[in-house]
Amino acid sequence: MSHVPGLRILVVEDEALIALELECLLDDLGYVTVGVAGSSSEAIELGRTTVPDIALVDIHLIDGPTGIDVARTLSSDPRTSVVFMTANDKRIPADFAGALGVIAKPYSERAVAGALRYVAALRAGGQPEADGLDGFRLATHGAPGHEL
């Protein structure tokens, strides 16, 4: 099985073309996009109202490098797992703001699919294999509610 059908994903990305491309990719992979947010306030509001399974969060949004705050807020709900998507992972704090890892931009379909499979397996209580996750770097800690 390549994915978990119906896994609900929030896209936090302020560049419209990237967000649209990611939405199409998620759809192709069989996931459900519950919303797209371009600012931190919009992302937090959508996170609260849609309670996504996974939030894919860019660090630099319309209102600045606020993706860190978004990740901290969304990951505080144990129902939501956060994964950063950024070209500048030097901005990620040591504790990863509660995120499980980071997908490097520019990302490939393989990197996104592998990261989502990994996170879905973790959420299901499994111990997924971290080897071979091209373009996806795990957080160096156990995120709250998740054992790595």
29 occurs within a structural domain: yes
Domain count, the chain: 1
Q: What is the reported pLDDT for 143?
A: 41
145 occurs within a structural domain: no
Greater pLDDT, 141 or 70:
70
Q: What is the reported pLDDT for 26?
A: 97
Say whether 73 sits in a helix, a strand or coil: helix
127 occurs within a structural domain: yes
106 occurs within a structural domain: yes
Q: What is the reported pLDDT for 130?
A: 79
Q: What is the reported pLDDT for 3?
A: 46
d(CA 121, CA 98): 18
Q: How far are the Cα atoms of 26, 63, 126 from residue 56, in angstroms, in the given order?
A: 11, 17, 21
pLDDT category at 89 given cuts 50, 70, 90 is confident
Cα angle, residue 35 at apex, residues 135 and 53 outer, rounded to 5°: 60
Question: CATH number, domain at 77?
Answer: 3.40.50.2300
Residue 74 has pLDDT above 90, yes or no: yes
Q: What is the reported pLDDT for 141?
A: 58
123 occurs within a structural domain: yes
Q: What is the mean pLDDT of the chain?
A: 90
Q: What is the pLDDT of residues 128-144, one digit of tens each?
A: 887 778 889 999 754 44
Q: Could you count the other beta carbons within 10 Å of the beta carbon of residue 144?
A: 10
Range of the domain at 14: 8-138
Q: What is the pLDDT of residues 6-58, one digit of tens each?
A: 799 999 999 999 999 999 999 999 999 999 999 999 999 999 999 999 999 99
Residue 100 has pLDDT above 70, yes or no: yes
Report the b/e string of 94-130 with b at 16+ CB within 10 A.
Answer: eebbbbbbbbbbebeeebbbbbbbbbbebbeeeeeee
143 occurs within a structural domain: no
Q: What is the reported pLDDT for 88?
A: 85
